[in-house]
Amino acid sequence: MATFKEFRNKVKPNWCPGCGDFSVLAAMQRAFANQGLEPEDVTLVSGIGCSGRISGYMNAYGFHGIHGRALPIAQGLKLANRDLTVVAAGGDGDGFAIGMSHTIHAIRRNVDITYIVMDNQVYGLTKGQTSPRSEMGFKTKSTPKGAIEATIAPLEMALTAGAGFVAQAFSSDLKQMTRLIEEGLNHKGFSLINVYSPCVTYNKINTYDWFKENLTNLEQDESYDPSDRMMAMQKLMENNGLVTGLIYQNKERKSYEEMISGFREEPLAKQDLKLPKEDFDQLVAEFA
Amino acid sequence: MIKQLSWKVGGQQGEGIDSTGEIFSTALNRLGYHLYGYRHFSSRIKGGHSNTKIRISIRPIRAVSDDLDVLVAFDQETIDLNAHELHDRGVILADAKFKPVVPEGVSARLFSVPFTKIAQDVGLAQMKNMVAVGASSALLGLPLEAFQGVIEEKFSRKGQQVVDKNMEAIQSGVDHVLKETGGMIEDLKLEPSDGKKRLYMIGNDAIALGAIAAGARLMAAYPITPSSEIMEYLIKQLSKFGGTVVQTEDEIAAISMVLGANYGGVRALTASAGPGLSLMTEAIGLAGMTETPAVIVDTQRGGPSTGLPTKQEQSDINAMLYSTHGEIPKIVIAPSTAEECFYDTIQAFNLADRYQCPVIILSDLALSLGKQTVEPLDYDRISIDRGNLITDSEGLKQLENSELFKRYEWTEDGVSSRVLPGVKNGLHHVTGVEHDEVGRPSENPLNRQRMVEKRLKKLEQGIDFEHPVHVDAEHEEADLLIVGIGSTRGVIHEGMERLQADGVTVNHLHIRQLLPFPAETVKKEMAKAKKVVVVENNATGQLASQLKLHVGMADKISHVGKYDGNPFLPSEIYNQCKELLVHGHV
Ligand SMILES: Cc1ncc(C[n+]2csc(CCOP(=O)(O)OP(=O)(O)O)c2C)c(N)n1
Ligand code: SF4
Ligand SMILES: [Mg+2]
């Protein structure tokens, strides 16, 4: 069985020292190992951004695509081979700006993949512009007088889109993040894990300390019931989204693959391509 | 008796015009006639004039005719809009209910037949379509038995009584016309056909069927005219083969999903028209960069922007050749008949796997939606070649110490082994960033140069596509070479025949592979002709530009364009070529 070290490769990440994404990489590696996965069982599909580089730092199959499109690529891959563990990952710009519609529709569609967003409330790779996750008033190169557009609330949005699994983690709590990723991997259907992953270079407001002060860990609240969608919505709104833990899970909802009529257990990629003569004749007869 | 004729049925959209045409043509197909059906429809769903024109012949035809022999009209608007197409011996069969009148200047004969009344007498006003079918077949002298099977298949679900009623309606239509015309209209009787079994299908169905035959098991697409039938057909059929169709949120998702699926090892496709292809361009570049196979169908329609969504055009040629940023290997093929749509789609998947690059099947509205006779499709011509693909770890060298598989290994022909995710000892990276042989990002100038060359090299020696051109060139020295692409195949052929009848020597070349361009073959054909005319449904001569670019001989190339939304008519080809030959220019 592979240990988390076997999910490491020799590429040195070009992230800034202290970047929250290091922890996300480490948590994923631990989660895969804890789940008994081998490197070849996993494909990590990532977007474009500092965060998107993550697939190149993981010793597993990796597909680093184009900005905002990790989710459709990951869904196509999962539908092609349902035996694979498919994880998509990217930044807040990737998932909530350019790729927002894919995020909503992936949630609705519910293909059995896990999506991890490294949310630093800023565009890191392009050197510090505002993101849909930036708070109003946040000053960046593109908003020198402060952001004047409302902040998107991705988790509330996920709940209204019909999400079956919504969780949030924080880069400083590796243990909790690892566990949430594992729960996401085990969830049958689409799982969204938003991670507060601070950008130490371009976000001087939402820093590690700031999060430590402002985050509420739902797991410490005994009355919290993650199967209660209404409660989930209320908690998120009360805390302005600043919570960690498993926020909502619906274990009843069937995955997309389970809902497709005629979809087989055997992965599409492994099926025989040859069309039997009888089938061919039958198809052609319709046009006679 | 005549060898061919044109029949048109028209009325309000949503009124059953399509099914009238369908029943009539299915019967004719089974009788062994060659058919070409072209639907005129507007972007409205209900209401608005709609018509279907079907050409019927005892020999192969693939074009709309210039004139019309029989017009079946369910309203006056149909007569007003279409009667001018009728020649002098033409006939209008119109529902007596709306008191039809022949517009001034039209000398066709009018028979007003109480379609609705007869249908009501039989039992149901809706069956007026069947009465019209019967009336038409009486004019053409078709045997009534031809309809029995068609009607049974269509209505047997609803019970024998419905079948019988519909046959009765057809019979009444026949009887009425025979009685009323009293054999006056002998000149529309069709010569008997050869009775051979053939298929009658639209290009889109042939593409979809080809995809199944090629082993495609996933389609991701967003609906758009005129490509949606491909998706609809596969939604109906793919589940029988374990596959599925995903209707995505947009075309970017569709193509991205197709890339993910192909990367995962399933043959997957998407289909769209210009607006969708415009959205896909970045991801097509990703396919080129990551050497991921993908099959993409572009059913061209009137552009730019929303353009003429339900009309014919061939103006995406440049976009399909050039629209992605950067330089990638890409294949563009262009079937010109429904039969080729089937075989080319199978080849498209093989080419995509063999050269590990995107393959675009360029169709156009007239080819995608025009319904045509197809010779029986040959099961033995279906072959599947997955190229250099590794699907299991057998024979793979053990990877030590986070070592990676050389997915992008430099090879003689530029094609490397592709290993599917999930395979042990096959680990590698895939990225749209420039990368090294194992897929790790690299900005090393030498690596960059070699990788660009590696990717482009795959197609440089030409590709293994069976029919890069269609040539119909019997003259070693010709006055004229007509060059076309896509659906214009049949109409050019007819134009050519008329020119030949005038004593002009004409050759015909149809471009079937646009990228890489088969320059040598095209050059050879061009050299045989004094003049070259490129016929295409666009304004700027996009195909003509390709000829000039790859072959030269610019001074003998002219371009005949049509961009009013309608397909070329044989007379237009004839007249424009005549003009060129007489005056030296079009
Ligand atoms: C289509 C396209 N537009 C713009 C870019 C430039 N770009 C790259 S990453 C990025 C935003 C990155 O922000 P985020 O997704 O939050 O990732 P982070 O770098 O913060 O991890 C942008 C705008 C691109 N690569 N592609
Ligand atoms: S710029 Fe920000 S997000 Fe990018 S690596 Fe540096 S710290 Fe991380
Ligand atoms: Mg970001």
Q: What is the 3-state secondary structure (H, E, C) of B257-320?
A: HHHHHHHHCCEEEEEECHHHHHHHHHHHHHHHHHCCCEEEEEEECECCCCCECCCCCCCCHHHH
Task: Tell whether B265 is within 8 A of chain A (Cβ).
Answer: yes
- Percentage, residues of chain B above pLDDT 70: 99
Residue keyed to tokens 């045997």: B143
Task: Pick B119 or B584 by higher pLDDT.
Answer: B119
Is B122 strand, coil or helix? helix
Would you state the pLDDT for residue B91? 95
H or E segment to which residue B34 belongs: strand B34-40
Are B265 and A80 contacting, i.e. CB atoms less than 8 angstroms apart? yes
* A14, A48, A57, best to mutate for ligand 1 pocket (most atoms within 8 Å of CB): A48
Are B70 and B53 contacting, i.e. CB atoms less than 8 angstroms apart? no
A84 vs B440: CB contact, 8 Å cut-off?
no
Annotate B221-264 with three-state secondary structure.
Answer: ECCCCCCHHHHHHHHHHHHHHCCEEEECCCHHHHHHHHHHHHHH
Contacts of B286 in chain A (CB under 8 A): 65-66
Contacts of A79 in chain B (CB under 8 A): 218, 244, 246, 257, 260-261, 264, 266
DSSP state of A162: T
Would you state the pLDDT for residue B203? 98
Is B446 strand, coil or helix? helix
Q: Is the pLDDT of residue B45 over 90?
A: no
How far apart are the CA of B332 and the nearest CA of chain A, in angstroms? 23
Q: Is the pLDDT of residue B583 over 90?
A: no
Q: Which of B148, B173, B197 is the last residue of a domain?
A: B197
Q: Is the pLDDT of residue B26 over 90?
A: yes
Shared domain check, B241 and B185: no
Would you state the pLDDT for residue B335? 98
Mean pLDDT of the region B565-570 = 96
How far apart are the CA of A233 and the nearest CA of chain B, in angstroms? 25
Are B35 and B53 contacting, i.e. CB atoms less than 8 angstroms apart? no
**In a domain? residue B391:** no
Q: What is the CATH number of the domain that holds B339?
A: 3.40.50.970
Contacts of residue B344, Cβ cutoff 8 Å, sequence gap at least 6? B210, B333, B335, B361, B512
Ligand closest to CA A47? 1
How far apart are the CA of B151 and the nearest CA of chain A, in angstroms? 14
A40 vs B440: CB contact, 8 Å cut-off?
no
Residue B530's CB is within 10 A of a number of other CB atoms, namely 12
d(Cα A99, Cα A97) in Å, to the nearest integer?
Answer: 6
Are B214 and B346 contacting, i.e. CB atoms less than 8 angstroms apart? yes
Q: Is 0.95 surpassed by the pTM of this model?
A: yes
Q: Is the pLDDT of residue B183 over 80?
A: no
| First and final C-alpha spacing in chain A | 57
Would you state the pLDDT for residue B44? 66
Shared domain check, B184 and B66: yes
Contacts of A281 in chain B (CB under 8 A): 379
d(Cα B127, Cα B507) in Å, to the nearest integer?
Answer: 48
Can you spell out the DSSP letters for B333-374? Answer: E---SHHHHHHHHHHHHHHHHHHTSEEEEEEEHHHHH-EEEE
d(Cα B26, Cα B185) in Å, to the nearest integer?
Answer: 24
d(Cα B7, Cα B92) in Å, to the nearest integer?
Answer: 10
Give the domain range for residue B318. Answer: 203-381
Q: Is the pLDDT of residue B585 over 80?
A: no
What's the CATH code, domain A4-262? 3.40.50.970
Shared domain check, B115 and B251: no
- Is the four-CA dihedral B85, B91, B93, B98 of positive or negative sign? positive
CA–CA distances in Å: residue A187 to residues A132, A167, A232, B307: 28, 12, 18, 45
A62 vs B423: CB contact, 8 Å cut-off?
no
- Kindly report whether the peptide bond that precedes residue B100 is cis, defined as omega within 30 degrees of 0: no
Contacts of B154 in chain A (CB under 8 A): none
Residue of A nearest to B199 (CA): A288
Residue A123 pairs with which residues in a beta bridge? A129
- Percentage, residues of chain B above pLDDT 90: 92
How far apart are the CA of B362 and the nearest CA of chain A, in angstroms? 23
Domains in chain A: boundaries: 4-262
d(Cα B155, Cα A28) in Å, to the nearest integer?
Answer: 59
Helices first, then strands: H and E counts in chain B? 18, 23
Are B336 and B314 contacting, i.e. CB atoms less than 8 angstroms apart? no
Would you state the pLDDT for residue B15? 80
Please report the atom of ligand 1 found closest to the CA of residue A51: 21
Q: Which of B357, B381, B405 is the last residue of a domain?
A: B381
Give the CA angle between residues B436, B437, B438 to the nearest 5°.
95
Q: Indicate which residue's Cα is closest to atom 2 of ligand 1.
A: A67
Q: Which of B162, B178, B197 is the last residue of a domain?
A: B197
A247 lines ligand 2 (CB under 6 A): no
The type of residue at B36 is: Y
- Residue B509 alpha carbon to ligand 1 centre in Å: 47
Mean pLDDT of the region B138-153 = 93
Are B302 and B557 contacting, i.e. CB atoms less than 8 angstroms apart? no
Are B243 and B269 contacting, i.e. CB atoms less than 8 angstroms apart? no
Contacts of residue B246, Cβ cutoff 8 Å, sequence gap at least 6? A75, A79, A109, B218, B219, B220, B221, B254, B257
How far apart are the CA of A218 and the nearest CA of chain B, in angstroms? 33
Name which of B212, B256, B424 is nearest A72 (Cβ-Cβ).
B256
Averaged pLDDT of chain B: 95
Mean pLDDT of the region B468-481 = 97
d(Cα B97, Cα B114) in Å, to the nearest integer?
Answer: 6
Q: Which of B330, B335, B320 is nearest to B467 (CA)?
A: B335
ipTM of this complex prediction, to 2 decimal places? 0.98
B253 vs A288: CB contact, 8 Å cut-off?
no
Query: Helix, strand, coil: what percent of chain A each, to 5?
Result: 40, 15, 45
Q: What are phi and psi of A271, to 5 degrees?
A: -80, 155
**In a domain? residue B417:** no
d(Cα B448, Cα A250) in Å, to the nearest integer?
Answer: 48
> Which of the residues A37, A64, A87, A259 would you substitute to probe the B interface, choosing the one with the greatest number of B C-beta atoms within 10 Å?
A64
Residue keyed to tokens 């038995």: B145
Please report the atom of ligand 2 found closest to the CA of residue A200: 7
A261 vs B239: CB contact, 8 Å cut-off?
yes
Contacts of B29 in chain A (CB under 8 A): 288
d(Cα B177, Cα B180) in Å, to the nearest integer?
Answer: 5
> Which of the residues B428, B430, B433, B443 would you substitute to probe the A interface, choosing the one with the greatest number of A C-beta atoms within 10 Å?
B430
pLDDT confidence band for B369 (50 / 70 / 90): very high
Contacts of A63 in chain B (CB under 8 A): 260, 263, 290, 430-431
Shared domain check, B364 and B486: no
For A218-227, B173-182, B217-226, B478-487, which range has the lowest pLDDT when averaged over its residues? B173-182
Contacts of A60 in chain B (CB under 8 A): 427
Interface subset of B 430-489, CB within 8 angstroms of A: 430-433, 439-441
Would you state the pLDDT for residue B185? 75
Q: Which of B427, B263, B290 is nearest to A77 (CA)?
A: B263
Interface subset of B 245-264, CB within 8 angstroms of A: 246, 248-250, 252-254, 256-264
Would you state the pLDDT for residue B492? 98
**In a domain? residue B404:** no
A262 vs B242: CB contact, 8 Å cut-off?
yes
Name which of A45, A260, A275 is nearest B382 (Cβ-Cβ).
A275
Shared domain check, B50 and B135: yes
Would you state the pLDDT for residue B48? 84
Would you state the pLDDT for residue B46? 66
Q: Indicate which residue's Cα is closest to atom 26 of ligand 1.
A: A67
Shared domain check, B220 and B175: no
Q: Each residue of A159-170: pLDDT tens digit?
A: 999 999 999 999
Q: Is the pLDDT of residue B373 over 90?
A: yes
Contacts of residue B213, Cβ cutoff 8 Å, sequence gap at least 6? A275, A280, B342, B345, B346, B382
CB-defined site of ligand 1, < 6 Å: A 48-51, 67, 90-94, 118, 120, 122-126, 131
Q: Which residues of B96-131 are buried (b: 16+ CB within 10 A; e: fewer)?
A: ebbebebeeebebbbbbbbbbbbbbebeeeebbbbb
Q: Which of B402, B225, B3 is nearest to A62 (CA)?
A: B402
d(Cα A186, Cα A194) in Å, to the nearest integer?
Answer: 17
CB pairs under 8 A between A and B: 208
Domains in chain B, number: 3
Task: Tell whether B213 is within 8 A of chain A (Cβ).
Answer: yes
Q: Each residue of B192-208: pLDDT tens digit?
A: 999 999 999 999 999 99
A72 vs B374: CB contact, 8 Å cut-off?
no
pLDDT confidence band for B43 (50 / 70 / 90): low
d(Cα B164, Cα B160) in Å, to the nearest integer?
Answer: 6
pLDDT confidence band for B451 (50 / 70 / 90): very high
Q: Each residue of B384-430: pLDDT tens digit?
A: 999 999 999 999 999 988 899 999 999 999 999 999 999 999 999 99
Shared domain check, B90 and B10: yes
Shared domain check, B226 and B107: no
A80 vs B263: CB contact, 8 Å cut-off?
yes
Name which of B262, B404, B432 is nearest A66 (Cβ-Cβ).
B432
Mean pLDDT of the region B319-334 = 97
Q: Which residues of A189-219 are buried (b: 16+ CB within 10 A; e: fewer)?
A: bbbbbbbbbbbbbbbeebeeeebeeebeebe
Shared domain check, B374 and B272: yes
Please report the atom of ligand 1 found closest to the CA of residue A97: 15
Is A285 strand, coil or helix? helix
Shared domain check, B236 and B163: no
How far apart are the CA of B554 and the nearest CA of chain A, in angstroms? 40
Task: Tell whether B35 is within 8 A of chain A (Cβ).
Answer: no
Q: Which residues of B162-196 are buried (b: 16+ CB within 10 A; e: fewer)?
A: bbebbbbbbbbbbebbeeebeeebeebebeebeee
Positions in chain A short of pLDDT 70: none
CA–CA distances in Å: residue B184 to residues A99, B91, B138, B179: 68, 11, 12, 10
